């Protein structure tokens, strides 16, 4: 039942029992990744409580697994194709790359902020990002709560779709308890820069299993994994 504190754990136990019965094996490093070898290829399910992503080379295998799950849990809400919404991300498969956009989330955060200007800012933070003036005036309760709410929202976005704001968010997160007017200005700058770059998407992809491409549409970087 929703609201009871054991519910999440009981659901997890129920769900993995069903997956194991269906022949899936949980990954040793991540207990929310389950794999099974079906028709000579790997089928992977990753799940975040009730939201699931399933993948396999053959579309028919996906249908078969979903049908089996529906026997246990009733009608599932399924999205197929090359574009999906998952955990607040708009995911689009293009060739051997994945485009991850969180535009809606960013728009919500930007709209929540009352003092946004049309400043032409492209960098999310200035050099003085980590400097703290202890004498600076603290924010009022309302502004403090808004600051906390927006920073938390952006933390979620940063981890998934906008790694370029990580430095700014890492600092702003340390200030949520007692933010001051300087922190408010830093958040404002970050939001202005996001407003200008809201259409940027994160692109991840691989051209071999050794090299991973990651970055935004503006800048592509190479990283060995």
Partner 1 sequence: MMTVRKGIRFYGEAAIIAIFNEYKQLKDLELFGEIKDEDLTPEVKMNALRAINLIKKKRCGKVKGRTVANGRPQRAYVSREEATSPTVSTEALMTTLLIDAYVGRKVAIFDVPGAYIQANMPMDKFIVRKIEDEFVDIMCKVNPQYKKQIRNERRKKVL
Sign of CA dihedral 59, 62, 68, 69: negative
d(CA 148, CA 154): 10
CB 109 within 8 Å of CB 187: no
Cβ within 8 Å of residue 63, ≥6 positions away: none
Q: Does 80 bind partner 1 (CB under 8 A)?
A: yes
In the complex, minimum distance from the CB of residue 76 to partner 1, in angstroms, rounded to a whole number: 5
Residues 83-112 contacting partner 1, CB under 8 A: 84-87, 91, 93, 95-98, 100, 104
Q: Does 123 bind partner 1 (CB under 8 A)?
A: no
Burial 25-49 (b: 16+ CB within 10 A, else e): eeeeeeeebbbbebeeeebebbbee
Query: Is 108 exposed, middle or buried, given 0-12, 13-18 or 19+ CB atoms closer than 10 A?
Result: middle
Q: Taking CB under 8 A as the rule, which mask of x and - marks residues 127-156 in contact with partner 1?
A: ------------------------------
Q: Does 21 bind partner 1 (CB under 8 A)?
A: no
Q: Which is nearer to partner 1, 119 or 211 (CB)?
A: 211
Q: Does 25 bind partner 1 (CB under 8 A)?
A: no
The pair of structure tokens assigned to 197 is: 């770059």
Q: Does 76 bind partner 1 (CB under 8 A)?
A: yes
Q: Does 162 bind partner 1 (CB under 8 A)?
A: no
Q: Which of 24, 38, 56, 187 touches partner 1 by CB under 8 A?
A: 56
Q: From the CB of residue 205, how many other CB atoms can be counted at a distance below 10 Å?
A: 16
* E strand or H helix at 59: helix 59-73
**Quick one: how far is CA 10 from the chain centroid?**
25
Q: Does 53 bind partner 1 (CB under 8 A)?
A: yes
Q: Does 170 bind partner 1 (CB under 8 A)?
A: no
Q: Does 40 bind partner 1 (CB under 8 A)?
A: no
Q: Does 217 bind partner 1 (CB under 8 A)?
A: no
Q: From the CB of residue 176, how many other CB atoms can be counted at a distance below 10 Å?
A: 16
In the complex, minimum distance from the CB of residue 222 to partner 1, in angstroms, rounded to a whole number: 14
Q: Does 79 bind partner 1 (CB under 8 A)?
A: yes
Q: Which residues bind partner 1 (CB under 8 A)?
A: 1-15, 17, 27, 29-33, 44, 46-59, 62, 66, 69, 73-80, 84-87, 91, 93, 95-98, 100, 104, 159-160, 204-206, 209, 212
């Amino acid at each position: 039942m929703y609201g009871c504190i054991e519910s999440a754990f009981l659901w997890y136990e129920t769900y993995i029992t069903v997956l194991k019965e269906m022949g899936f094996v949980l990954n040793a490093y991540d207990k929310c990744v389950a794999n099974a070898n079906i028709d000579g290829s790997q089928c992977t399910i990753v799940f975040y409580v009730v939201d699931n992503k399933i993948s396999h080379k053959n579309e028919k295998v996906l249908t078969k697994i979903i049908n089996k799950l529906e026997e246990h849990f009733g009608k599932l809400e399924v999205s197929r194709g090359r574009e999906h919404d998952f955990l607040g991300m708009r995911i689009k498969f293009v060739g051997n790359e994945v485009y991850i956009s969180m535009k809606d989330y960013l728009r919500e955060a930007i709209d929540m902020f009352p003092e946004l200007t049309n400043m032409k800012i492209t960098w999310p933070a200035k050099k003085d990002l980590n400097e703290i003036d202890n004498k600076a005036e603290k924010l009022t309760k309302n502004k403090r709560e808004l600051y906390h709410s927006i920073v938390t929202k952006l933390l979620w976005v940063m981890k998934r779709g906008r790694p370029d704001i990580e430095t700014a968010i890492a600092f702003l997160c340390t200030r949520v308890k007692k933010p001051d007017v300087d922190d408010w200005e830093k958040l404002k700058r970050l939001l202005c820069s996001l407003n200008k770059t809201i259409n940027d998407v994160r692109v991840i992809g691989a051209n071999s299993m050794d090299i991973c491409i990651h970055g935004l549409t503006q800048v592509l970087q190479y990283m060995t994994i």
